[in-house]
Structure 1
Amino acid sequence: MNLLLRNVHKSPSLIAFSDYRESEAHNDLQTSVSNSGELLEYETLELRVHPPNIDIDNEYDPSCTLITVDSANRPGTLVEVVQHFTELGLNVRRARISSDGGWFVDVFEVTDFDGSQVTSNRKLASIKQMLNIHLRGQEVPVFNADETDDQQRIVTTVFELAGEDQSGLLADVTHLLTTNGCDVRSAAVWTFKNRVAFVLSVTDKGQPVRDGIKLQRLKQLLRTMMDKHGNGVVNIKTVQGEVHHDRRLHVLMLREEEMQWEQGHSKPRYHMRWNSSLGEAAASPTDSAGSMHAEYMNLPDADSDQLSHFRSPKHSRPDVSITHSSMNGYWLVTIKCKDRTKLLFDTVCTLADMDYDVFHATIDSIKGAAMQEYYIRPRLGKPELDELKAAKLAAMMESSIQRRFPRGLKVHVHSVDRFGCLAALTDVLKQGGLAVTRAKVKTFAVNQSSGHTFYVMDATGAPPDKDKVEEACKQIGGHLVEVGEEARSASSGQHRFSFSFLNRQWHKGWNGDSSSPSSSHGSV
């Protein structure tokens, strides 16, 4: 038997959970071979024989819900779980992650958005089935925490774009899509370090765009828009149901930032600090012989200049350090920063996308402070510490945490859902000399309305003039409302806007006038 199995290729650490999900979706019969006749590797069979087990306990602690997940281990499984929590609006306050011998057991203490236990039957059912890849159609639990069109499992065409950040780019992209008959159902935009990423879900008369010639033409035009040198990213795919905007944005932004980092870091730009008190005979990752603190140089960015003063008060520069144990072969990544929602999601996405496997981890949140420790190894290559790779990993981990904090004035726009609404809004902002640094757009199925959240700056990079923003909004029939009123139904057809300077940190010398300091940093 050993002779027969010797030549069977098994790669337990290379086949991702998402790939397994996709292969199973196309494998209608529960067989041991794929549709192409190839033998499915051992772990695939084990996942079928021993499907993931998810236990939910609301009696362990009245202040939280304890969720235990155990399953055959696949790269990306941890991301799948944490992403599911994030999209349900849940917060992970503590976690213990452990894997050994191709199996993992993860324990999470989670709370609902209001800090209470998770008691919603819909959310509990969704958690219970979050790793079940055999559900079909309407059996699939709703992941998102809001009442969007995802509930109806509509099929859309998703555009994933990334490239050089340019003022007015969002308006140009949405205008191009609208003039070609594409209705934007949902969208998300991130900007960071002079790079930008879009994820837009569109339909053509209620259906995904099926005209191949149109899609090819749009792809060519968008690639030119995203980067004048032709290095932009344009991916087009058909998706049924929910679109994982944040997950895809992490992938796109990581590619952009890796490219920038490699251009400016042909050699490590950090200082090595050896912790001599531990000695060479350290026996565990926490007592490793060498300690390397990632004091790398940041890429050029307006964030490090005078404009850094008006980011979100939740912003904090994380302390990222990487140590190594030659005995156990683990890299220990330690992150200390302010606690916030989606922090765990941001860090595990980066580790997964950079091909690092998490073997063990401890996640703690105490009184607003977060402490994360990951015991990892590179999925490919040797486990020995590579200084350049470690410096790059530390830089990308820091970026993944910091890019959650956009600069600018937060603007909410709610309106009746209508074709071309996003293109009209962004065009008015562009004509008003305003640049969008972050955007989130949703279409709500319940009351046929759409919600838009923008962070805007002056096109010069200076803080925006509140009157200028209000004037731009009035051009499309809106009016200023008190904070909180924007959550009401938009059944009247009139746009609602809310503006708040309360949640931003403004330098006392910046009044939003023409004399405010400017920056060369572009925004979409």
Structure 2
Amino acid sequence: MMEIIHQSRIDRELESLMERIYPPRVCIDNDSREECTVVKVDSANKDGILLEMVQVLTDLDLVISKSFISSDGGWFMDVFHVTDSFGNKLIDESLMLYIQKALCASRRGEISREKLGNSWKEEERVWRKKTAVELTGTDGPGLLSEISAVLVELGFKATSATAWTHNDRAACIIHVEDDSTSGPIDDPIRLAHVERHLECVLEARGEKRSVRLTTLAAGRTHTERRLHQLMYADRDYERCRACEAECGGEHKKECDGTHVWIGRCEEKGYWGVNVRSRDRPKLLFDTLCVLTDMNYVVFHAAIRSAGSMAHQEYFVRHKASSTLLRESERQKLTLCLIAAIERRVSHGLRIDINTENRVGLMRELTRVFRENGLWISRVEIGTRGDKAEGSFYVTDSAGGEVNPKIVELVRQQAGGSIVAVHRSPCRMSTASSSSSTREHKSGIEAVRKFSLGSMLWSQLERLSDSFGSIRSSYLAYSE
């Protein structure tokens, strides 16, 4: 045991030393491409660095249309082609300066101290005051409504909620606080009490369920990555099927399903992972989440969008073994990649809300959906000050399109909380999604979700590294 701890400490010190000797370099190039901004990163490699950087970009609601990755030999080099959510190049100087700093993992603490000051400390303090409720169970109409009702009855106030459904399974993370104190719930007896009540709700729908209450702390896992982990632990991937099997053993041009091919690269000892699927925002983040959490290391990768489709190619190895995977492991990785991509895909309508936050708001809205026969397939809702903002993705009880008359009835019963209704963009390409977003820009601006995109600083110094070596390294590859 002592030897393991000692080795871990040395690894962390060595990693920190490498960052100090070879600090990360980030360059944002708006000149080489007409259609996008090119973000280039050059850094000493470390465990999880690729996912961290993609997470920074996706948290800013940026769309990654192309990326070239290489991390062999202890060095990490990456090129991202990005646009904003409307398909435009990045022109906001403060946003670009923030990206330059945020992508330098060793300098993130410096950003907080220099620029955020008390505001950052306040945000961290507020997050620490929350308790997170994590649930997985059998999906079904009215599930979120029943969960919300239990929380209100037990004196909990929801401050944010994110929920996904996939293959008849549901995973949900709700951040709550004590209604009377606006603080975390520290009483273990009370925590056990609410856990039992929530388990009863989930148990009534199926035997397989999980409920966990935790107090948030610094360094918490990213919410959407945590949802991937919850659904993976719930084994939602077991009902996924490889699309090529449905296509008669070969890929058909007109098929827009998710295809995964995994082959051996004998000379280098890699597994070559090729993924083809519908393009959408956060696709790269979702794929990297499952690779990282399944302990696969990405050594090289090329990602690109072509029309409505996205192509991802990875060369990976497993951390625990230098040998190539067995057939059972290859099949499991295939299904897990398909599941990770499909979890975020939501059909039906997106209903945006922007209303005054109050105790029981989530219960009221989900009750309206349930009483009108709507099935909630995905939720993203949070609070900004005294306002609650976010989106519900809904279908009818059979998973089909929602009747427009029911939508209007729901709007009336919600008492002005609903500000916009859109057909879900998740089945559209990045380009068509951007076009649709422009058409509804005014509505989206009214319900813009809380993200790092709202925290832009204008006085950070520019970094001057040229990144000419990275550009030349990838020129032949990109062409």
TM-score, normalised by the number of residues in structure 2: 0.75
Q: Which segments of 5 or more consecutive residues in structure 2 lack a partner in the other structure? A: 117-121, 248-254, 428-479
Kept after mapping to 2: 8 A contact 1:409/1:504: no
Letter of the 1:201 partner, please give it: H
> Please, which moves more after superposition, 90-99 or 196-205?
196-205
1:428 aligned to which of 333, 358, 368:
368
Kept after mapping to 2: 8 A contact 1:153/1:242: no
Letter of the 1:368 partner, please give it: S
Letter of the 2:224 partner, please give it: D
2:266 aligned to which of 313, 326, 344:
326
Kept after mapping to 1: 8 A contact 2:351/2:420: yes
Q: 1:399-431: per-residue Cα shift (whole Å, max 9, x none)?
A: 222222213333222211222211111122223
> Partners of 1:153 and 1:124 in 2: how far apart?
27
1:112 and 2:64 correspond:
no
**Which runs of structure 2 are paired with 1:306-321 in the superposition (5 Å)?**
316-321=256-261
1:250 aligned to which of 211, 228, 238:
228
1:363 aligned to which of 285, 303, 306:
303
Q: Which segments of 5 or more consecutive residues in structure 1 lack a partner in the other structure? A: 1-6, 16-32, 143-148, 271-293, 299-314, 479-494, 506-524
Aligned residue for 1:89?
A: 61
Aligned residue for 1:170?
A: 144
1:67 and 2:39 correspond:
yes
CA shift at 1:232, angstroms? 1.8
Rate the CA distance shift 1:77–1:221 in 2: closer, same or farther, 3 A.
farther
Kept after mapping to 2: 8 A contact 1:223/1:230: no
Rate the CA distance shift 1:427–1:111 in 2: closer, same or farther, 3 A.
same
Aligned residue for 2:28?
A: 56
> Partners of 1:236 and 1:164 in 2: how far apart?
22
Kept after mapping to 1: 8 A contact 2:72/2:300: no
> Partners of 1:8 and 1:208 in 2: how far apart?
35
Letter of the 2:230 partner, please give it: L
> Partners of 1:139 and 1:203 in 2: how far apart?
28
> Partners of 1:10 and 1:118 in 2: how far apart?
45
TM-score, normalised by the number of residues in structure 1: 0.69
Kept after mapping to 2: 8 A contact 1:151/1:241: no
Aligned residue for 1:340?
A: 280
Kept after mapping to 2: 8 A contact 1:167/1:459: yes
1:498 and 2:474 correspond:
no
> Please, which moves more after superposition, 450-459 or 385-394?
450-459
Kindly indicate whether structure 1 or structure 2 has the higher relative contact order, using CA contacts under 8 Å at least 6 residues apart.
Answer: 2
CA shift at 1:43, angstroms? 2.5
1:218 aligned to which of 194, 202, 213:
194
CA shift at 1:44, angstroms? 4.0
Percentage of identical aligned residues: 33
> Partners of 1:469 and 1:239 in 2: how far apart?
39
Letter of the 2:191 partner, please give it: L
Aligned residue for 1:303?
A: none
Letter of the 1:468 partner, please give it: I
Kept after mapping to 2: 8 A contact 1:154/1:241: no
2:216 aligned to which of 220, 235, 238:
238
CA shift at 1:498, angstroms? 3.3
Rate the CA distance shift 1:216–1:63 in 2: closer, same or farther, 3 A.
same
Aligned residue for 1:349?
A: 289
Rate the CA distance shift 1:362–1:500 in 2: closer, same or farther, 3 A.
closer
Kept after mapping to 2: 8 A contact 1:125/1:141: no
Paired residue total: 406
Q: 1:77-115: per-residue Cα shift (whole Å, max 9, x none)?
A: 111111111010111122111112322111212222222
Letter of the 1:76 partner, please give it: G
CA shift at 1:127, angstroms? 1.7
Higher relative helix content:
2
Letter of the 2:185 partner, please give it: V
Secondary structure in 1 matching 2:185: coil
> Partners of 1:8 and 1:115 in 2: how far apart?
48
Kept after mapping to 1: 8 A contact 2:137/2:171: yes
Give the superposed CA RMSD: 3.3
Kept after mapping to 1: 8 A contact 2:124/2:218: no
Kept after mapping to 2: 8 A contact 1:157/1:203: yes
- From the CA coordinates, give the structure whose radius of gyration is larger: 1
